[in-house]
Structure 1
Amino acid sequence: MEQTHLFDEKAIQGMDLLFHHYWILRSEQPEWYQLVRAREKVLRRYFNEKFGLRLIVHQHFIKLEKIPVEPEEWMGIQDFQEPMDYAIFCCALSFLEGQAVDEQFLLSELCQEIQADYQGDFPLDWTLYVHRKSLIRAVKILMEFQLIRTIDGEIGRFDQNEEQEVLYEATIYSRYFMRTYPDDFSTYHHWSELLNEDWKLNQEDERRKRVYRKLFFSPGLHRRDQQDPDFLYIRNYRNRLSEDIEKHSDYKLHVYKNTAFLSVAEPRQYQQVFPNTKASTDLILQLSKYIHGQPNRYKANENGEMLMTEGEFEQVIDDMRKLHGTGWAKYFRDMSSSGVRTELLRSMKDWMLVEVENETSLLRIKSLLGVMTGEYPADYQTGGTE
């Protein structure tokens, strides 16, 4: 008889699946669903004790409500480009709440309801191309999360014709997508109140829960100053944390003077790891090698940050292009240094390798960048294998 009270390899796999997927749908991933279901007790206990997070087990799905300590830019829906996309998406969720499971509706009905509920500075106008494209992005995410299914038609044609019709059907999942809150949602006036509400329920061992969430949800954790309480916790309990994390996951804890992060030896396909296959991460590794190879020119402050203006950063890119540009992907070879700067900063923000001060545009390059460097082989220009 299988022992379900032990945190074994199946529990480790189940935890990892829950961390990397919004939810696990029984109809789509029956094996994953059964695996988590079989380890439900130990997983629920561990999530509650270490993270202060709620595991929801439903007959149709399993979901771990992942609430970050601090929201980051990269935590949003990656396909969304404008605040309007999120507003339209939320109006669509409101519409779906009024639909019965398997109830069918037309795109024109959805458009009408979204238009009526939309609270933006300017009203939605479906004759405007940018508004139609925003709706298309929102609808595609509704389909990606399986909140609606297409019965007839194609949403892609809506970008050229606002009269285009598509027939949809609401799914069982549409009413479970949003989190439930203890108070009426309209009583909250700022997003920070939603986070505060969560910590009211997690006052016991709050520091530990904050640290676990930061380590597992973010690329890295930065020391803000000498008295940073979260970082001090990691330094003081490093051995205990390391032992616990390695026992309950495939991750390994790394702690440096100004940064801490988790690594995995053999990444699974669904995991986001650095570096990835994108050409931008190749350039970021080269950037790390370049600036850390010149300690007299680029000095770090007490928190391990290198301060640089955008103009100085662009000069670094020019220098890197002279040294390694022939090896860059064509996309970056053909791009201006200004364009490369924009692309790299966007990617570095996603990996928490840089912070840009809004008022001064000053770059704070984080110490996490220095953990990994990269360079081309000596004979890369001749196609060698050294």
Structure 2
Amino acid sequence: MMLKRNRKIRVLALVLAMVMVLASVDIGAFAVETDSDMETVSDDFETTSGDELPNETEGETPGSTTEGSGETVAESGRPEEPDETSTESRTTETSDETEPEDESKLSETDEETSPDDDGQENVIEETMNALFVISWYDEGNVAERRPEDIRRLIEIYADGELLDDTRFDITLLNEDQDGDGKPEPDRAYGLETYYYVISNLPVYTGAKDGSEEQTKIIYTIKEDRAAIPGYKAMDTALLDSSAGELQNKMAAPGDTMLLEAYEGEGRETRNRFVNYLPEYSVSGRVVWDVEDSSYPEIESYFEDYFAVIEEDRDYVCHTVTYSKDEEKENIWNFSITGLFTTNEDGSAASYVLHPAELEWFKTTPASVPVAQDMEDVEFVYTLSDPKAAIMSVDIEDKDEERTAT
């Protein structure tokens, strides 16, 4: 009976010790610091609750027994310290539980700072080149009225907004073939044609860092007509049938054209402007109404004696084409080009055809004003004094005879 009583007392003492520990120790500290103590106590509890107990002798029990009470406590007044094996086990379990949390935090940090996600390293600005063509119909720029810098003539728009001409580069593709430092134009149908490439136009708009959606830019090009006063956009009606291929590629007057990407091969494009400087069409003839051939040679006459006057001064931008009539040598046909309808400032121009006076000859009419297209202009030369002319010839003949003798 005494043994059974002692056994119950020991169980109650252990339970009481557990309650005291729980009441006096912080729950968190208990979970960390006394985990192995609880295991030890639990082991003792399981042992004491069994049907059989090992033979107990003095000195074998972990604590001392107080007489009359039967209470057993640790020598230090608190549970024994855990062994090393139990501590290592707890450390491993704690590390395994906290490691996934640390990996998650590290992964989130990598995503925020990843260069692949912020767009700075992966976004490459895509650019394109564009080709456009300008042809001139102005008698080879004889009046020198084309702009020296093509940037003064063209306007480039991005999504309808005019671009500053410093934001793009323009390269002339025509080459210097004569070694005079001037690129040679392509010549066909009376036109002089130049090819230009606009470089490094951004293809998309929007933030490069990917913070907003990028959209493709639509580029258009047009001419500033104010930069070339007097010029007009070429009408296909001014070209003959042999220029049919060119007619299909010309911009209509005042057109704004879409710029297309140019890959660097060939020079075919619909981005073509043809500028025409209108001129008067003038043609006629010179008639020598004399019986003999005492008039000058045709070449010297048109080079030295047939003048075009503009505003009281000689006009030098014209070209006279001449030839003798097939049936009558005393009739000389001529046509004049380069009599442009406008002055450099765009105002209307007018001219005067003025043959020079020749000794013993008079001209009818003395001059002809030109302010429109004119055909069948006629100048007739007659002897001003027939007797003087015959006398002059006789005198020259006698002088030649005396010199010969």
Q: Same fold (TM over 0.5)?
A: no
Q: Which has the larger radius of gyration?
A: 2
The answer to which structure has the higher helix fraction is 1
TM-score scaled by length of structure 2? 0.17
